[in-house]
């Protein structure tokens, strides 16, 4: 009997990771490749590149299920990716690439599902709390954008629910954040949390602080900007290493707003099963997240502070959590369609 395989992808605004895995109790990845999303015009173009590779094409006939995690709202198995503008349709992808079925899922639904595939070493606990067995779980992550997913227990396990809460209105909690909101309104009009809690958001915070008279980038940081294009990553690096006072302040404000937003979402969902901070940024700034800034903002909810203190908060260190979730969904899909 020919071996059966799963096709999965985690498609984000910056990076898209594709994998072919052998089916089994725990899908084993046999081929994996990462792509720079901005270098392609559509999801179809990346799929075409991946499945045409000899090591994948040799197993094409054995693909039993396919699931792609996509950074945007999914309806009727179709999606427009928020920060890329790509329009994708699962049924059309299945027809074009001769696949039995392609399921599109929101990226943070996939991240939520992927938590089940991780080990304790894949997490950094910021707040132990008092976890409730089978309680609602919340997954939040900043990267190119700001994603949110919710997981509820439904008898046989956790089921993921998509959310676009990262686009909710930014709510300042002090005078400095009031000024940040006014600053961003001049550019965007309406200001969502994603405008701040994201890679581009960290750069906006730095620009705001300069305008507010909090300082200017050091010569070392300016020199680094001239050598590398990833400005947000540089601000984070210099802030973590305390090499630039402006970067330190920017990273502190970023972590504060991030924590406040996560606390808002934990209140909205009563995430007694835990809040999981995922996405591309959190693992890179985990030293900042563990210094107390994030958790203080998370718990700073007035009369409900004690409730928040009982909610576990974990950083997901494994960058492939969304890919694992897509693989698990592809496996479920293959069982339904076989």
Quick check: 170 and 195 in contact, CB under 8 A?
A: yes
Rounded CA-CA distance 225/203 in Å is 12
Ranges in the chain annotated CATH 3.40.367.20: 166-316
What does each C-alpha distance from 249 to 47, 190, 284 come to in angstroms? 41, 24, 17
How confident is the model over 39-76, as pLDDT tens digits?
A: 999 999 999 999 999 999 999 999 999 999 998 889 99
Query: What are the pLDDT digits (tens) for 246-269?
Result: 999 999 999 999 999 999 999 999
Residues ≥6 apart with Cβ < 8 Å to 287: 240
Predicted confidence band of residue 1 (pLDDT cuts 50, 70, 90): very low
Question: Is residue 335 scored above 90 in pLDDT?
Answer: no
Query: Which parts of the chain are beta strand (E)?
Result: 5-11, 15-22, 28-36, 63-70, 74-75, 78-80, 87-89, 102-106, 123-127, 137-142, 146-153, 158-163, 274-278, 313-316
Average pLDDT, the chain: 93
Q: Count of CB atoms within 10 A of residue 255's CB?
A: 22
Portions of the chain given CATH number 3.30.420.40: 5-114+320-337
- CATH class belonging to 166-316: alpha beta
Quick: pLDDT tens for 11-27: 988 899 999 999 876 66
CA distances from 307 to 32, 131, 185, 311 (A): 42, 12, 33, 7
Q: How would CATH label the architecture of 5-114+320-337?
A: 2-Layer Sandwich (3.30)
Q: Using CB atoms within 10 A of its CB, is residue 205 exposed (0-12), middle (13-18) or buried (19+)? A: buried
């Amino acid at each position: 009997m020919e071996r059966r395989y799963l096709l999965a992808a985690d498609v984000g605004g910056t990076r898209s990771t594709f994998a072919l895995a052998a089916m089994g109790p725990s899908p084993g990845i046999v081929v994996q490749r990462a792509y720079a999303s901005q270098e392609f015009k559509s999801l179809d173009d990346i799929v075409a590149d991946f499945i045409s590779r000899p090591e994948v094409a040799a197993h094409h006939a054995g693909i039993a299920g396919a699931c792609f995690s996509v950074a945007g709202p999914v309806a009727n198995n179709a999606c427009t990716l928020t920060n890329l503008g790509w329009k994708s349709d699962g049924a059309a992808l299945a027809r074009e690439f001769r696949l039995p079925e392609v399921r599109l899922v929101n990226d943070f639904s996939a991240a939520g599902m992927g938590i089940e595939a991780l080990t304790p070493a894949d997490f950094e606990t910021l707040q132990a709390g008092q976890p409730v067995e089978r309680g609602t779980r919340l997954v939040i992550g900043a990267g190119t954008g700001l994603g949110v997913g919710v997981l509820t227990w439904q008898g046989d396990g956790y089921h993921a629910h998509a959310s676009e809460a990262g686009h909710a209105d930014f709510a300042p909690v002090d005078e400095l954040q009031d000024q940040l909101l006014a600053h961003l309104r001049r550019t965007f009009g309406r200001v969502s949390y994603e405008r701040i809690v994201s890679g581009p958001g960290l750069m906006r915070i730095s620009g705001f602080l300069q305008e507010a008279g909090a300082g200017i980038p050091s010569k070392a940081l300016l020199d680094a900007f001239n050598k590398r294009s990833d400005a947000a990553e540089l601000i984070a690096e210099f802030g973590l290493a305390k090499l630039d006072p402006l970067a330190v302040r920017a990273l502190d404000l970023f972590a504060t707003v991030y924590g406040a937003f996560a606390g808002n979402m934990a209140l909205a969902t009563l995430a007694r099963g835990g809040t999981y901070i995922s996405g591309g940024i959190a693992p890179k700034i985990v030293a900042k997240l563990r210094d107390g800034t994030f958790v203080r903002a998370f718990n700073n909810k007035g009369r409900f502070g004690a409730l928040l203190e009982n909610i576990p908060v974990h950083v997901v260190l494994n960058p492939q959590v969304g890919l694992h979730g897509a693989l698990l969904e592809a496996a479920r899909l293959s069982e339904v369609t076989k």
